[in-house]
């Protein structure tokens, strides 16, 4: 993908009758107007971007803050880049008419920040991230949060060796049933807050390769993952954790949790960590020294035997 002529994104937007169009492209403009950091130059009052060309239904248009779509339809928009970007954060932020994205020809080899890149693309049903280069990316916070129409995501090709922040990455992807992140390298990640929170259709997650030795925040990490049946966290290193409050809040389908590698020392915040895990029948844990009241930690865990709760008090 070294040839810049092949550096482009294809986006499909479904325009409803009488729908305002200005947010569809304007959300992208909000980021791209900071051209000093995006390697794109533009005068303050210019109407076009010299290093980005836009085509709607194969017709080249001037880049505008608003574009009047003539009728209700599905419009194919091509964003063609004449330079390789360094930042793509907020690129399609709140593009709620976006239904399909093909980024297989988008050159991201120099991108360091992908925060909020697809945030609140609530109608997005499919996204092609084949060939997506993430080797230099440091920030992925909220990258796909609010993509509530996506049903599957295969991110097994992602190179996350330099990523430090994954908080809220898949937050409220509530239709997501299949998520492949089995090859994620989390060696440098420090923040996983609410990473999967609100993924209420997920039944399983493969996190066996997750390295969490540097993570200090897992607050709400699986909050409201109400369909999650099993979760293997036996490889988690929790020596640096400060906050795991609400971590399994409302995980009401979980039956077993192996937290035997969790080192829960005094001072770690654990508010409502197992709240409403009402299918939970067993928890394995070795070191559990919490400032929180044990009864409150297990609030509404109606299937958990009382002797297990008592054992936590004695650890």
pLDDT tens for 266-289 read 668 888 889 999 999 988 876 565
Confidence check: pLDDT of 94 > 90: no
Domain boundaries, the chain: 138-315
Report the pLDDT value the prediction gives residue 266, as an integer from 0 to 100.
63
Confidence check: pLDDT of 136 > 90: yes
Higher pLDDT among residues 314 and 182, named by residue: 182
What CATH number has the domain spanning 138-315? 3.80.10
Helix H, strand E, coil C: the string for the chain is: CCCHHHCEEEEEEEECCCCCCHHHHHHHHHHHCCHHHHCCCCCCCCCCCCCEEEEECCEEECCCCCCCCCCCEEEEEEEEECCCCCECCCCCCCCCCEEEEECCCCCCCCCCECCCCCCCCCCCCEEECCCCCCCCCCECCCCCCCCCCCCEEECCCCCCCCCCECCCCCCCCCCCCEEECCCCCCCCCCECCCCCCCCCCCCCCCCCCCCCCCCCECCCCCCCCCCCCCCCCCCCCCCCCCECCCCCCCCCCCCEEEEEEEEECCCCECCCCCCCCCCCCEEEEEEECCCCCHHHHCCCCCCCCHHHHHHHHHC
């Amino acid at each position: 993908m070294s040839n810049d002529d092949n550096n482009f994104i294809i986006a499909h937007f479904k325009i409803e009758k009488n729908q305002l169009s200005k947010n569809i492209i304007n959300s992208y403009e909000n980021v791209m107007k900071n051209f000093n950091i995006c390697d794109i130059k533009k005068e303050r009052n210019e109407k076009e971007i010299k290093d980005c060309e836009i085509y709607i239904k194969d017709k080249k248009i001037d880049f505008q803050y608003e574009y009047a779509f003539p009728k209700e339809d599905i419009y194919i928009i091509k964003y063609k880049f004449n330079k390789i970007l360094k930042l793509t954060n907020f690129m399609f932020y709140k593009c709620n008419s976006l239904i399909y994205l093909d980024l297989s020809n988008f050159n991201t080899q120099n991108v360091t920040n992908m925060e909020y890149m697809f945030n609140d693309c609530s109608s997005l049903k499919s996204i092609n991230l084949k060939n997506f280069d993430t080797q230099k990316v440091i920030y992925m916070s909220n990258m796909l949060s609010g993509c509530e129409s996506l049903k599957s995501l295969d991110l097994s090709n992602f190179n996350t060796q330099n990523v430090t922040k994954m908080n809220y990455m898949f937050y409220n992807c509530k239709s997501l049933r299949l998520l492949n992140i089995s090859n994620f390298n989390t060696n440098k990640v420090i923040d996983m807050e609410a990473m999967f929170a609100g993924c209420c259709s997920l039944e399983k997650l493969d996190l066996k390769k997750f390295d969490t030795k540097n993570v200090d925040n897992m607050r709400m990490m699986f909050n409201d993952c109400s369909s999650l049946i099993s979760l293997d966290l036996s490889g988690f290193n929790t020596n640096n954790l400060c906050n795991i409050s609400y971590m399994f809040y409302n995980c009401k389908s979980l039956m077993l949790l192996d937290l035997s590698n969790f080192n829960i020392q005094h001072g770690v915040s654990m508010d409502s960590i197992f709240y409403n895990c009402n299918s939970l029948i067993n928890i394995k844990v070795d070191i559990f020294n919490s400032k929180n009241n044990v009864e409150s930690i297990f609030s509404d865990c109606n299937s958990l035997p009382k002797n297990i709760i008592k054992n936590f008090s004695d650890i």
